[in-house]
Homo-oligomer: A and B are copies of this chain.
Amino acid sequence: MSQPTERTPERPAGRAVPTSADVARLAGVSRATVSYVLNNTSAVRISEPTRRRVREAAEELGYVPHAAARSLRAGHSRMVLLPTSHVPVGPLYSQFFNEFQWALRRLDYTVVQYGSVGLEAEEAARAWAELRPVAVVSLGEVQLTGQGVEILKRSGARAVITLGTRAVEGTHALVMDQGKVGEVATAHLVASGRRRIGVVIPEEPGLAMFSGPRLDGARRAVAGTGATVVPLPLRYEEESANELAARWRDLGLDAVFGYNDEYAMLLMRALQDAGIAVPGETAVVGADDLLLGRLLRPRLSTVRIDMVLGRELAELVDRAVREPEVPPRTRALLDSRVVRRESS
């Protein structure tokens, strides 16, 4: 860039942000022409010399269009808003999420994640609505209410998609059937002849959303089999696991579903240290099929969760935006199956 001045102060107090009017002035044309050139408007034909002058002027000024002004004028945006929060999630979920974002970008949407920690349902919906997104994809961080959905739709959102453990009225709901995770794990344990089955409930906040349905699923699996389910609160700390292991024999359990691989690994180690044979005396099953679970001895049995592809979800969003009249539907988002290794 040509900076003829010897000293360019970083931030001259008066330096304004260049607008299309500045570009027009420098190029010696009107603002309309600038817009035509920079947006490659095909309806209008601009001479090549003019185009070049405009482009050079824009370049020289470092002009960048103002998204807010543009979408204000246009009356709509292509922003897809994804509320985020602090729910600790595994690599599976992260990968899905990234693929989803990438696919949306390919469909020419601007993906914006909005940190929504600590917001209540309606408060959150209002905050999101201020940005006038064309679609909101809520991954369950904030429990959206029908009221909140109404606010969003009234403010122009053409699609509200919830991706959670249960359907929300008025939205395209994608249900992650967390119950099934607990169900297949527990059914597997029952089928292997286990009768008293512990189910780990993490005490860490934010996980109740997943652990509750998983426990319910476990209960469904034992219904009518004579086996029983015992909830086991557990913090993700060695001390907590050791305490639990110390009273293991009093609990009289012969199997445990560890919520996920991490909690399962923690508990399995504590059980082994307490002299309880795995899987001999107690079977252990995790979930998520982490690589690390295969490194323990015995190798950890697990529930493998197959997520819908991020690309598919992106296409669903796109369709919902283009055809908002299609009524929202609820559909399953993931499938689960047991991968039996050595710990069960």
Contacts and interface: CB of A to CB of B under 8 A. Distances in A.
A28 interface: no
Given A2-B43, A12-B325, A67-B131, 10 more contacts: A2-B42, A10-B153, A62-B150, A64-B154, A67-B132, A101-B117, A111-B114, A112-B115, A238-B294, A262-B292
A68 B132 contact: yes
B66 A291 contact: no
A86 interface: yes
Contact of A151 (B62, B114, B126): B62
B292 A17 contact: no
Tell which of A69, A150, A238, A295 has the most Cβ of chain B within 10 Å. A295
A226 interface: no
29 contacts: A2-B42, A2-B43, A10-B75, A10-B170, A17-B132, A17-B154, A18-B154, A62-B155, A66-B130, A67-B68, A67-B132, A68-B69, A68-B71, A68-B72, A68-B131, A69-B72, A84-B113, A86-B95, A112-B113, A112-B115, A113-B113, A113-B114, A238-B291, A262-B291, A265-B292, A266-B292, A266-B295, A269-B295, A296-B296
A62 B146 CA distance: 13
Interface residues of A, number: 69
A7 interface: no
A319 interface: no
Contact of A72 (B72, B95, B115, B154): B72
Contacts of A156: 11, 17
A173 to B, nearest CB: 15
Given A43-B2, A88-B94, A115-B113, A64 B155 contact: yes
A21 to B, nearest CB: 14
A275 interface: no
Contacts of A101: 115, 117
A76 interface: yes
Interface of A: 2, 10-12, 15, 17-18, 42-43, 61-62, 64-69, 71-72, 75-77, 84-86, 88, 91, 94-95, 98, 101-102, 104-105, 110-115, 117-118, 126, 129-132, 150-151, 153-156, 170, 236-238, 262, 265-266, 269, 291-292, 294-296, 324-325, 327
A151 B111 contact: no
Contacts of A294: 238
Contacts of A296: 295-296
A325 B91 CA distance: 41
B76 A154 contact: no
A61 B104 CA distance: 31
The 10 closest A-B pairs by CB, nearest first: A113-B113, A68-B68, A86-B98, A101-B115, A67-B130, A111-B115, A269-B295, A64-B129, A62-B154, A17-B156
A111 B116 CA distance: 9
B130 A65 contact: yes
A151 to B, nearest CB: 6
A266 B98 CA distance: 25
Contact of A265 (B69, B98, B170, B295): B295
A2 B153 CA distance: 17
A126 to B, nearest CB: 6
A18 B129 CA distance: 12
